[in-house]
């Protein structure tokens, strides 16, 4: 199976694209809803929680795990890849969402000025500025942490009138940093749920990059370049949903993200 992990519901925006573009594979989604959000937590805590969840997915029979969470990708991916994976699952792979998003940035900006919306954890990690500098040293990067956006989504308030205030506030703050920003990355897998409000308050000349489609295309490319991994993956169109919190709550809410009925099970972490 392909494991897909997020702190809560946000990774479902990525899984939805995987299923749309690569429907043949079996997927096991794990949302750590009991401990979400991750965005405000320390490096050590995000690393520990993410590692526990990744280990669980490998025990379930996954060979490939995607961290469909920017915060976990920023704070835990490298340590897991370098330190834990060789012992935990020597033939397994763990991939994140930051690298594919960064690759996409280069082809989008004309002004060479990019904005990043993310959780406080992602922004403070400086992962985006550092990764962009490696691939595109000429691009200037401005960041804005949006601590209210994930709680709005996780509490199903993202369509409410109250959400407009916080959406607009962070867009304005980012654009005040530099008037030449012509591309913004929604560097949190929860944010596509706020897309219509983000579009509403973002000037039309600015390109908005959402991650689902980009990460799905990058996975497709990865599997193409790694036939031994591709051949080892089961292909029965199975979808398994797991949560660390109440499955009833997960099913009710996750189907809004996934746009299909979901039947999840609770796992103990």
In DSSP notation, 54-67 reads: HHHHHHTT-SEEEE
134's tokens: 């490696």
Which range touches ligand DGL (CB under 6 A), out of 7-15, 21-29, 103-111, 196-204?
A: 7-15
CA–CA separation, 240 and 187 (whole Å) = 25
How many of the chain's residues bind ligand DGL (CB under 6 A)? 17
- Return the residue of 109, 127, 189, 264 that touches ligand DGL, per CB under 6 A: 189
In DSSP notation, 105-125 reads: HHTT-SSSEEEEEE-HHHHHH
56's tokens: 């669980």
Which position among 28, 53, 62, 188 bears the catalytic label?
188
142's tokens: 């401005």
Tell me if 170 contacts ligand DGL by CB under 6 A.
no
CA atoms within 13 Å, Cβ hemisphere of 262: 31
| Interaction residues for ligand DGL, span 69-88 (CB under 6 A) | 69-71
User: What's the Cα-to-Cα distance from 256 to each of 84, 97, 162, 186, 259, rounded to whole Å?
Assistant: 34, 22, 19, 19, 5
Pairing of strands 183-186, 140-145: unpaired
Which position among 53, 62, 69, 146 bears the catalytic label?
69
146 is a catalytic site residue: no
Tell me if 212 contacts ligand DGL by CB under 6 A.
no
Minimum gap (Å) between residue 87 Cβ and ligand DGL? 26
Residue 170 phi, psi (nearest 5): -75, -35
**Which helix (H) or strand (E) is 183 found in, with range?**
strand 183-186
- Return the residue of 188, 193, 198, 254 that touches ligand DGL, per CB under 6 A: 188
* 8 A C-beta contact, residue 183 and residue 156: no
Tell me if 202 contacts ligand DGL by CB under 6 A.
no
- Return the residue of 1, 4, 5, 6 that touches ligand DGL, per CB under 6 A: 6
Which range touches ligand DGL (CB under 6 A), out of 63-71, 102-110, 165-173, 216-224?
A: 63-71
Minimum gap (Å) between residue 142 Cβ and ligand DGL? 18
- Other residues' Cβ atoms within 10 Å of the Cβ of residue 67: 29
Tell me if 247 contacts ligand DGL by CB under 6 A.
no
40 is a catalytic site residue: no
User: Given the complex with ligand DGL, which of 39 and 212 has the nearer CB atom?
Assistant: 39
| Interaction residues for ligand DGL, span 36-55 (CB under 6 A) | 36-39
257's tokens: 């993200």
| Interaction residues for ligand DGL, span 114-143 (CB under 6 A) | 119, 122
- Residues found near ligand DGL in the complex (CB under 6 A): 6-8, 10, 36-39, 69-71, 119, 122, 150, 188-190
Residues recognised as catalytic: 69, 188
């Amino acid at each position: 199976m392909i494991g897909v992990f997020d702190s809560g519901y946000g990774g479902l925006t990525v899984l939805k694209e995987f299923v749309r573009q690569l429907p043949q594979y079996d997927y096991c989604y794990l949302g750590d809803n009991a401990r979400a959000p991750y965005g405000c937590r320390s490096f050590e805590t995000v690393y520990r929680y993410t590692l526990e969840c990744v280990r669980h997915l490998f025990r379930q029979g996954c060979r490939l795990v995607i961290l469909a969470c920017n915060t976990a990708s920023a704070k835990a991916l490298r340590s897991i890849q370098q330190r834990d994976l060789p012992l935990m699952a020597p033939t397994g792979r763990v991939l994140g969402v930051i690298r594919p998003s960064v690759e996409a940035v280069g082809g989008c900006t004309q002004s060479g000025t990019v904005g990043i919306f993310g959780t406080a954890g992602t922004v403070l990690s400086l992962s985006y500025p550092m990764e962009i500098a490696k691939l595109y040293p000429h691009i200037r990067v401005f960041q804005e942490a949006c601590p209210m956006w994930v709680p709005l989504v996780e509490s199903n308030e993202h369509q409410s009138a109250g959400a407009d205030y916080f959406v607009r506030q962070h867009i304005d703050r980012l654009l005040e940093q530099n008037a030449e920003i012509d591309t913004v990355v929604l560097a949190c897998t929860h944010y596509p749920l706020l897309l219509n409000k983000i579009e509403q308050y973002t000037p039309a000349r600015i390109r908005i990059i959402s991650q689902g489609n980009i990460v799905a295309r990058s996975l497709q490319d990865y599997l193409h370049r790694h036939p031994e991994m591709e051949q080892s993956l089961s292909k029965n169109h199975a979808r398994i949903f797991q949560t660390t919190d109440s499955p009833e709550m997960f099913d009710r809410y996750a189907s809004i993200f996934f746009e299909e009925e979901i039947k999840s099970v609770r796992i103990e972490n």
